[in-house]
């Protein structure tokens, strides 16, 4: 098992994720921590790849493995959304089928498929049609919305696009900067929005823009 996404906290446990296989969890505060493993949904587990350099000393295989894991992480994600652990994946080929699953219970007896949509049609209707004959057309999963189980944030070209899987439509979008990092978080209700000084203006103030407009 090789971790290829950030650790997730859920159900009083920490979850380490291998997006080719599944997730291992443990209660870090237990006197005798019990390790549990939850496999990815049926059909999502990928076959074993090349062994690591510790086993056969082939550095090329290690590089290939690293590239493979990073590529997988672009199209899969496990995260906490609306109080449940959820898994989403998008197929890297047309019509880019986006699927979302919810874990059955806190301990993970299995996964339930909740939504499945063809992104090519949804994105085209929302103003983001795929470009023909392009190797970069496959949307990438960025984050799962922590409060809305139907919403998934995708990287589509140079934009972050929010798709409502329940209604099958685009509900928000924002252009990406050259370097970006999106982290799902829930701000406390008492933390009000504020303004920041505008560059080049002595007393100018501008409101902070939301990274993605969900309205």
User: Among 95, 118, 92, 109, which residue's Cα sits nearest to residue 39?
Assistant: 109
- Give the pTM: 0.79
pLDDT score for 106: 72
Q: Which of 68-77, 127-136, 144-153 has the lowest mean pLDDT?
A: 127-136
The string of pLDDT tens digits covering residues 83-104 is 999 999 999 888 899 999 999 9
Q: How far apart are CA 150 and CA 30, in angstroms?
A: 33
Q: CB neighbours of 210 closer than 8 A, spacing ≥ 6? A: 174
Give me the mean pLDDT over the 176-198 stretch: 73
CB 50 within 8 A of CB 66: no
The string of pLDDT tens digits covering residues 191-200 is 766 665 655 5
pLDDT score for 80: 94
């Amino acid at each position: 098992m090789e971790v290829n996404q950030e650790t997730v906290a859920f159900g009083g446990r920490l979850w380490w994720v291998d997006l080719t296989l599944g997730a291992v969890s443990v209660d870090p505060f237990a006197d005798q921590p019990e390790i549990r493993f939850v496999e990815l949904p049926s059909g999502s587990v990928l076959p074993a790849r090349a062994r690591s350099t510790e086993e056969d000393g082939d550095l090329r295989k290690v590089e290939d493995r690293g590239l493979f894991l990073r590529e997988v992480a672009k199209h899969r994600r496990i995260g906490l959304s609306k109080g449940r652990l959820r898994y989403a994946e998008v197929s890297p080929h047309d019509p880019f089928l986006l699927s979302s699953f919810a874990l059955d219970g806190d301990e993970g007896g299995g996964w339930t498929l909740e939504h499945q949509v063809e992104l090519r049609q949804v994105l085209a209707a929302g103003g983001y049609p795929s470009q023909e004959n392009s190797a970069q057309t496959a949307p990438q999963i960025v984050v799962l919305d922590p409060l809305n189980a139907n919403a998934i944030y995708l990287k589509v070209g140079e934009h972050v696009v929010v798709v409502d899987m329940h209604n099958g439509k685009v509900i928000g979008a924002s252009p990406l900067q050259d370097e970006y990092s999106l982290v799902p978080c829930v701000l406390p209700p008492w933390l009000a929005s504020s303004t920041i000084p505008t560059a080049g203006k002595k007393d100018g103030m501008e409101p902070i823009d939301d990274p993605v407009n969900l309205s």
